[in-house]
C-alpha cells in the first residue's frame, strides 16, 4: 500500500507469452489480488497461470434466457389472449404452437444481448482511458509486448519489494505508473462535436413529437407494398363487373360441398318448400355440447362484427366507427342479434343469412359446415334469452301513445343502427325533421315525406331510394303491419 493517491502501480514487460505465463504464476502464488496481464492476442493457459476463476457469464445468460422465454410466453398470452383477443386464421387466441417461434426469438434475443452487454459490464467496459496508457512503452501491448501490471492499491504492494519481485520472476523492464496530477479535460473540439451530435439527435425526436397526434389527408407511405396493396376485390366492395354490383360472390345455386349432402334438404337450405323453417331441422339435437360448439364458431366467425354478446359491437365495428368519425369509411353497424326483429326471425331465415350473406354481411357457406351453422343459430338463441328484448304484452302496448309505440318498434327492428333521432347523419339520414320535408329520389322526382312515402320505403326501399343512398343497404321490412307503420309515422312526426 502507498499513500500517494496518484500512484497507480508498476508495469512489467516480459519477453514472450511463456515468460508472461511463468511470471503470472509467481505473482498468483505471491498472493497479489489487484493485478492484470496484457497481451496482443489471447494466450492459451494464461487464465490458469493467473488463477482467474471461470467466468460467471454463462449463468447470467442462462438466467436471462429463461427470463426471455417467460417474457415471450407472457407477451403473447397477454396481448392476444387477454388484452385484445383477436381471431387470427381461425386459430385459438391462446395456442402454444403458433407462439413458439416468437418465444424462441425472444429467448435468443435476451440471451445474445445479455451475453454481449454483461461481458462489457463484467469487464468494466466501455473504458476510454486507463492509467497504463500514460506509458508509451505500453503501446506495444497491441503489437508484440507482453505486460503484467500490479496496482498500488493491492494490500501486498510495496514499491521496492514489488519491483524487485517482478525483476526476479523474469521481467524485462519494470516501470512505475503514475496518474496525472490534474486530470486532463476533454479536448474542446471533441466537446463541440458531441454537443452538435446531441443537438442533431433531438431533431428526429422533435419530428416524431410534432406529428404525434397530427392529422393528414395523405395516405400512409408504403415502403413495402404489402398485401393491402394487391389488385383484388375486397369483400364488401362494389364493382361494375357483376350485375348485382357486388364484389363478393355467392355460391352457385344448388352447390353442395363434399360430405355435406343430406337427405333432408331443409337441413341444407333452411327452407321447407318455400317457407323458412321455424325450428331446427329434425336431425339436430340441441344439447349443451351443441350450443358450446355454436359458441366456438360464433366467436370465431361472428363475434368480430356482431360482438361476443351479439350486440353488434364487435372489434371491427369499434374500429370502423373511429374511421367513420374521421370520414375515412362508410359503415353500417352490424345487426344487434338480440333485438325483437331477429328474435322473431325464423331459424331457417337465420340459416340462409349465415349461408348466403345479407346486405353487407358476406356468405359463410364456404367456411362453416352445415351442422356448425345450425349450432351457431342455437347459440344465438341462447344469447337472445340472456340479453334479448323483452316484449310488452298487448295490454301494455294498448295503453301507450302511438308515438311511444313507434319509438319502441324502431328500436326493436334495429332501425336506430343507421338512423338517428337527433339530426346526426349516420349511414342513413336522421329522422329529425324528415316528415314533411322534400326528398329527392334516384328516379329524378321529388316527393314529400308523408305516410305513403314512409310505407313504401319500409316495404320496398329500393323503389323509393333517395339520391345518395347506398343501393341495397336499407333492408325491406315486410313483417311490419299497417298499424305499426302508422305508429312509426306518429313517432317520426314528433321529431321536428
Partner 1 sequence: MSSHPISLEGDNQAGDLSPKVARFGLGLAVVGLGVGAALGFLSNDHDGYSHFWFAYLIAFCFVLTIVLGTLFFNIIQHLVNAHWSVSVRRLSELTMANIPLLAIFALPLLVPLFSDDVELWKWAAMSAEHQGVAEMAHDVAQDAAAAPHDLATELEHVEHQHFVSHKFPFLNRNFFALRVLAYFLLWWGMARFFFRKSVAQDTAEGIAPTLSMKRVSAVAVILFAFTISFFAFDMLMSLDETWFSTIFGVYIFAGSYLSAVCWLVVMAKFLHSTGRLTKVVSDEHFHDLGKWMFAFTFFWGYIAFSQFMLIWYANIPEETHFFAARLTSSWSGWTWCLLIFHFIIPFGGLLSRHVKRNTNVLMYWAIYMLIMHWVDMYWLAMPNYQRGEVGAGNPFGAMEVLLAVGMLGVLIFGIGRKSAAQALLPLRDPLLGKCLKFKNL
Residues of this chain that bind partner 1 (CB under 8 A): 42, 44-45, 58, 62, 89, 91, 97-98, 100-101
> Cβ 81 to partner 1, closest distance in Å?
17
For residues 128-153, one letter each, b for 16 or more C-beta atoms within 10 angstroms of the residue's C-beta and e for the rest, the string is eeebbeebeebeebeeebbbbbbbbe
* Cis peptide, bond prior to residue 189, ω within 30 of zero: no
Residue placing its CB nearer to partner 1 in the complex, 92 or 402: 92
> Cβ 56 to partner 1, closest distance in Å?
13
Per the CB < 8 A criterion, the answer to whether 236 and 360 are in contact is yes
> Cβ 21 to partner 1, closest distance in Å?
13
Q: What are the φ and ψ backbone dihedral angles of 447, each rounded to 5 degrees?
A: -120, 160
Per the CB < 8 A criterion, the answer to whether 360 and 332 are in contact is yes
Residue placing its CB nearer to partner 1 in the complex, 72 or 310: 72
Q: List all residues 6 or more positions away from 494 whose beta carbon is below 8 Å from its beta carbon.
A: 403
Residue placing its CB nearer to partner 1 in the complex, 102 or 235: 102
Residue placing its CB nearer to partner 1 in the complex, 97 or 187: 97
Q: List all residues 6 or more positions away from 147 whose beta carbon is below 8 Å from its beta carbon.
A: 11, 12, 13, 14, 20, 37, 38, 39, 132, 138, 140, 141
Residue placing its CB nearer to partner 1 in the complex, 101 or 436: 101
> Cβ 47 to partner 1, closest distance in Å?
9
CA angle 67, 69, 72 (to 5 degrees): 110
CA angle 424, 426, 429 (to 5 degrees): 75
Residue placing its CB nearer to partner 1 in the complex, 97 or 327: 97
> Could you give the CA distance from residue 99 to residue 222 in angstroms, rounded to a whole number?
28
> Cβ 264 to partner 1, closest distance in Å?
21
> Cβ 302 to partner 1, closest distance in Å?
20
> Cβ 10 to partner 1, closest distance in Å?
29
From the list 263, 416, 229, 262, the residue with the least C-alpha distance to 340 is 416
Residue placing its CB nearer to partner 1 in the complex, 62 or 325: 62
Amino acid at each position: 500500500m502507498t499513500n500517494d493517491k496518484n500512484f497507480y502501480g508498476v508495469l512489467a514487460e516480459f519477453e514472450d507469452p511463456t515468460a508472461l505465463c511463468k511470471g503470472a504464476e509467481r505473482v498468483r502464488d505471491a498472493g497479489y489480488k489487484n493485478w492484470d496481464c496484457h497481451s496482443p492476442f489471447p494466450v492459451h493457459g494464461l487464465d490458469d497461470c493467473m488463477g482467474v476463476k471461470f467466468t460467471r457469464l454463462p449463468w447470467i445468460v442462462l438466467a436471462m434466457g429463461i427470463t426471455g422465454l417467460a417474457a415471450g410466453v407472457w407477451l403473447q398470452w397477454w396481448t392476444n389472449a387477454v388484452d385484445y383477443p383477436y381471431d387470427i386464421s381461425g386459430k385459438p387466441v391462446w395456442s402454444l404452437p403458433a407462439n413458439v417461434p416468437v418465444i424462441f426469438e425472444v429467448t435468443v434475443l435476451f440471451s445474445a444481448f445479455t451475453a454481449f452487454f454483461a461481458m462489457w459490464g463484467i469487464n468494466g467496459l466501455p473504458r476510454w482511458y486507463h492509467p497504463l496508457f500514460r506509458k508509451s512503452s505500453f503501446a506495444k501491448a497491441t503489437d508484440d509486448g507482453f505486460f503484467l501490471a500490479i496496482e498500488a492499491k493491492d494490500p501486498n504492494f510495496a514499491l521496492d519489494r514489488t519491483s524487485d519481485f517482478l525483476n526476479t520472476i523474469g521481467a524485462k523492464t519494470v516501470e512505475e505508473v503514475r496518474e496525472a496530477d490534474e486530470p486532463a479535460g476533454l479536448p474542446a473540439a471533441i466537446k463541440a462535436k458531441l454537443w452538435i451530435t446531441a443537438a442533431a439527435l433531438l431533431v428526429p425526436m422533435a419530428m416524431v413529437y410534432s406529428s404525434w397526434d397530427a392529422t393528414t389527408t395523405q395516405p400512409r407511405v408504403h415502403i413495402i407494398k404489402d398485401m393491402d396493396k394487391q389488385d383484388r376485390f375486397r369483400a364488401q366492395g362494389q364493382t361494375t363487373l357483376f350485375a348485382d354490383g357486388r364484389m363478393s360472390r355467392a355460391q352457385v345455386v344448388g352447390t353442395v360441398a363434399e360430405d355435406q349432402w343430406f337427405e333432408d334438404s331443409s337441413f341444407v337450405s333452411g327452407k321447407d318448400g318455400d317457407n323458412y323453417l321455424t325450428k331446427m331441422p329434425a336431425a339436430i339435437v340441441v344439447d349443451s355440447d351443441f350450443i358450446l360448439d355454436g359458441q366456438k364458431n360464433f366467436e370465431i366467425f361472428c363475434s368480430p362484427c356482431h360482438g361476443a354478446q351479439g350486440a353488434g359491437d364487435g372489434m371491427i365495428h369499434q374500429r370502423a366507427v373511429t374511421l367513420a368519425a374521421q370520414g375515412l369509411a362508410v359503415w353500417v353497424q352490424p345487426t344487434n342479434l338480440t333485438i325483437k326483429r331477429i328474435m322473431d326471425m325464423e331459424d331457417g331465415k337465420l340459416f340462409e343469412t349465415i349461408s348466403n350473406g345479407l346486405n353487407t354481411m358476406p356468405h359463410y357457406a364456404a367456411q362453416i359446415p352445415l351442422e356448425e351453422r345450425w349450432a351457431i343459430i342455437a347459440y344465438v338463441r341462447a344469447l337472445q334469452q340472456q340479453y334479448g328484448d323483452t316484449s310488452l304484452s298487448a295490454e301494455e302496448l294498448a295503453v301507450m301513445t302511438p308515438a311511444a309505440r313507434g319509438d319502441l318498434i324502431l328500436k326493436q327492428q334495429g332501425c336506430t343502427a343507421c338512423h338517428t333521432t337527433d339530426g346526426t347523419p349516420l349511414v342513413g339520414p336522421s329522422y329529425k325533421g324528415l316528415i314533411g320535408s322534400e326528398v329527392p329520389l334516384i328516379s329524378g322526382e321529388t316527393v314529400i315525406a308523408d305516410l305513403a312515402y314512409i310505407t313504401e320505403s319500409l316495404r320496398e326501399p329500393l323503389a323509393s331510394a333517395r339520391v345518395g343512398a347506398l343501393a341495397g343497404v336499407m333492408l325491406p321490412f315486410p313483417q311490419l303491419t299497417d298499424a305499426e307503420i302508422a305508429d312509426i309515422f306518429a313517432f317520426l312526426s314528433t321529431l321536428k
